[in-house]
Amino acid sequence: MAKTLIVGACGQIGSELTATLRQKHGKDTIIASDIREGSAELMASGPFEVLDATNFAQLQDVIMHYDIDTVYMMAAMLSGTAEKFPMKAWELNMNSLFNVLNLAKEQKIKHLFWPSSIAVFGPTTPKLDTPQQTIMEPSTVYGISKQTGERWCEYYYKRYGVDVRSIRYPGLISYKTPPGGGTTDYAIEIFHSAVKGEVYTSFLNEDTALPMMYMDDAIKATIELMEADGDKINVRSSYNLGGISFTPHELSEAIKLKVSEFKINYKPDFRQAIADSWPSSIDDSVAQKDWNWEHKYDLKTLVDVMLKGVEESIS
């Protein structure tokens, strides 16, 4: 049976993708890997390899050893952290991508998923219902790496026939694995404060609208895109994915409907400038048309599931 490798399996998306794919296809066909070992739960759930995504030889060895057919390259440095370590972010985000693109070009892997982000857009992009194809002048290190990555994905598809597929993820919200260094992380931290009865200090202004999505929708999209017939995939850079758009104020009001005593205040930091450069909402009609994309969670269902999940995880 064809095997799949998830690189960055301990991360926010990688951990949930690993769990879902293992449930669907059996634990032995899904090989998890990361730069270091993960939680006891992840380590016990199936095969795991310690692997540096920027090391071509290590990556190739694991791929040959397990006879890997599909790779999800989820290793990346996110927007907030990347602003602090620009060169490290560029090295990780680009070298990890080139390694898998080149392995696919050499036909050592057949299918490749690589995550892009709404960070590919910049201050000159139309902010509302940002279309699939539009002005893209990202002003963050992370955004520049993602936009460059998209260009290379499309190039490898057109020039070498590499079956690479990608999604521009909005801010992803989940309670299972903490996020690491993103600008949209406030929308996760806020739930932890609400459940613990603490006042939450938001690092974004109350009226900063950003596109967001509950993790289950993001995992569903990722798997649906990878399972879609190749002839339906007309975008080989990366697909827009919309989800739900809200501001910190709107999210806090939705939380208050369930936790009436919840309080929030605002102290924007350096991430405000990053958020200001990103779209407020995304048009994902191309994904809808090409592979029937449809999201399930709205703001209310997101708040319900997050409050319940965070409560259970800390009790």
So which residues are the catalytic ones? 142
Distance CA(125)–CA(255), nearest Å, equals: 31
Query: According to CB under 6 A, which one of 78, 97, 305, 310 is a site residue for ligand AKB?
Result: 78
What beta strand segments (E) does 130-250 contain?
163-169, 171-173, 200-202, 210-214, 239-240, 244-246
**What is the DSSP track for 83-97?**
HHSHHHHHHHHHHHH
Which of 59, 82 has the CB closer to ligand AKB? Answer: 82
Our finding on whether 214 is near ligand AKB (CB under 6 A) is no
Which of 119, 226 has the CB closer to ligand AKB? Answer: 119
Ranked by CB distance to ligand AKB, the top (closest) residue is 182
Tokens of 170: 């909005």
Site for ligand AKB in 141-180 (CB under 6 A): 142, 169, 171-172
Min CB(119)–ligand AKB separation in Å: 5
Min CB(179)–ligand AKB separation in Å: 7
Of residues 160, 70, 158, 29, the one with CA closest to residue 106: 160
Query: According to CB under 6 A, which one of 33, 54, 79, 93 is a site residue for ligand AKB?
Result: 79
Residue 28: partners with Cβ closer than 8 Å, 6 or more residues away = 46, 47
Residue 138: partners with Cβ closer than 8 Å, 6 or more residues away = 119, 120, 121, 122, 144, 146, 147, 277
Tokens of 310: 């965070």
Distance CA(282)–CA(296), nearest Å, equals: 16
Q: Do strands 200-202 and 264-266 pair parallel, antiparallel, or not at all (unpaired)?
A: parallel
Size of the site for ligand AKB (CB under 6 A): 12
Site for ligand AKB in 86-145 (CB under 6 A): 117-119, 142
Min CB(120)–ligand AKB separation in Å: 9
Distance CA(197)–CA(244), nearest Å, equals: 25
Distance CA(192)–CA(175), nearest Å, equals: 9
Our finding on whether 183 is near ligand AKB (CB under 6 A) is yes
Which of 45, 277 has the CB closer to ligand AKB? Answer: 277
Min CB(79)–ligand AKB separation in Å: 3
Site for ligand AKB in 31-70 (CB under 6 A): none
What x-and-dash track marks residues 219-258 binding ligand AKB by CB under 6 A?
A: ----------------------------------------
Min CB(275)–ligand AKB separation in Å: 8
Our finding on whether 182 is near ligand AKB (CB under 6 A) is yes
Where does this chain bind ligand AKB (CB under 6 A)?
A: 78-79, 117-119, 142, 169, 171-172, 182-184
